[in-house]
Amino acid sequence: MTPVPVTAAEVEAARSVIAEHVVRTPVVPSPSLSHRCSAAVFLKLESLQPTGAFKLRGATNRLMALDEDERRRGVVTMSTGNHGRAVAYAAQRLSVPAVICMSRLVPANKVEAIRDLGADARIIGNSQDEAEVEAKRCVEEDGMVMVSPFDDPAVIAGQGTIGLELLEDLPDVDLVLVPLSGGGLIGGIALAVKARRPHARIVGVTMERGAAMYESLKAGHPVAVTEEASLADSLGGGIGLDNRCTFDLCRTLVDDVVLVSEREIAEAMRHTFWQDRLVAEGGAVVGQAALLTGKVTAAGHTVACILSGRNVDMPQFVEVVTGPGTGGSP
């Protein structure tokens, strides 16, 4: 087995470091999904973080680890939105300057949210890779510290605190469905959960369009994928050809990766809205999509879906939940 680049002890340590800056989110039952799947299905509401997504955990843990010098020079990142927002929020709280580099694919609501948090939001190019070039320039020329959205032990440990909370609230959980992009979220959760429940299954779910980790695991090494617009825009972007942590973590700890289509993501957004009465972004409901389509069998299990964020462009959200196939009010 490949040695993992982050430990369960680092996840435990992150918990108290970030405690006063993040919300300890609730785990709520989903009666409709439980009924559909003949299982006990729960949702962990990371959408209730003050930035609307779980990424605040990892970003806060990383910024708390900066030394005096680094705090003065500031931090930089590139992001599809939620990570940039998290870094901006944590930076403002901790009085650290922040530059956020992002591509034109990022929805306007996310860009505005970052500017409102006082960060310097720079729009560069048509892909995360182009935004990365500017971020690297900030590191090399301006001496800023790069905060990766997923490929950093402190970020992964921060996201892993979700797993610790989950075990407290659902001690007999045996299947966790986690939205998957770069793999920081699932890597941290898998570390925390498997340390105490080695037989619990951790399944990553991502969109068919540009599934970087899925393709990389299949190839046996990190590969680049073409970025495409998706309802699950938070799951876009590559894993980095020079991936340090998350590829090995996923290869070692993730039991399976499942893909869902745009239509299936839309259906899960509608289900989450009309049945669970929750607003969630496309990338946050892929676990529910995997259950609704039967791509993951849950019968008889205690299942947790990580509802990872709510930062959807609201006109787009309204279009999806009132569109064809709408279940209507039960």
Ligand X SMILES: *Cc1c(COP(=O)(O)O)cnc(C)c1O
Q: Which residues are catalytic?
A: 55, 308
Edge-to-edge strand list for the sheet holding 98-102: 120-123, 98-102, 75-78, 145-146
Q: Does residue 82 sit in helix, strand or coil?
A: helix
- Residue 174 or 233: the one with the smaller Cβ distance to ligand X is 233
Cβ at position 131, least distance to ligand X in Å: 15
The Cα 277–Cα 123 span in angstroms is 34
- Residue 61 or 234: the one with the smaller Cβ distance to ligand X is 234
Q: Does residue 96 sit in helix, strand or coil?
A: coil
- Residue 69 or 311: the one with the smaller Cβ distance to ligand X is 311
Question: Residue 275: which of 105, 33, 71, 25 has the closest Cα?
Answer: 33
Question: Residue 287: which of 189, 154, 151, 149 has the closest Cα?
Answer: 189
Question: Residue 26: which of 49, 52, 51 has the closest Cα?
Answer: 49
- Residue 185 or 203: the one with the smaller Cβ distance to ligand X is 185
Cβ at position 73, least distance to ligand X in Å: 25
The Cα 206–Cα 296 span in angstroms is 13
Q: Does residue 303 sit in helix, strand or coil?
A: strand
Is 267:325 a contact under the CB 8 Å cutoff?
yes
Cβ at position 100, least distance to ligand X in Å: 14
For the residues of 161-196, what is the DSSP string, one character each?
A: HHHHHHHHH-TT--EEEEE-SSSHHHHHHHHHHHHH
Token pair of 86 as six digits:
């998290």
Cβ at position 79, least distance to ligand X in Å: 8
Token pair of 325 as six digits:
């196939």
- Return the sign of the alpha-carbon dihedral for residues 321, 323, 325, 328: positive
The residue number whose beta carbon is nearest to ligand X equals 309
Cβ at position 166, least distance to ligand X in Å: 15
Residues in contact with ligand X by the rule CB under 6 A: 53, 55, 82, 149-150, 179-186, 234-235, 281, 283-284, 308-309
Cβ at position 212, least distance to ligand X in Å: 9
- Residue 181 or 275: the one with the smaller Cβ distance to ligand X is 181
- Cβ contacts of residue 266 below 8 Å, gap of 6+? 231, 282, 320, 323, 325
The Cα 15–Cα 157 span in angstroms is 9
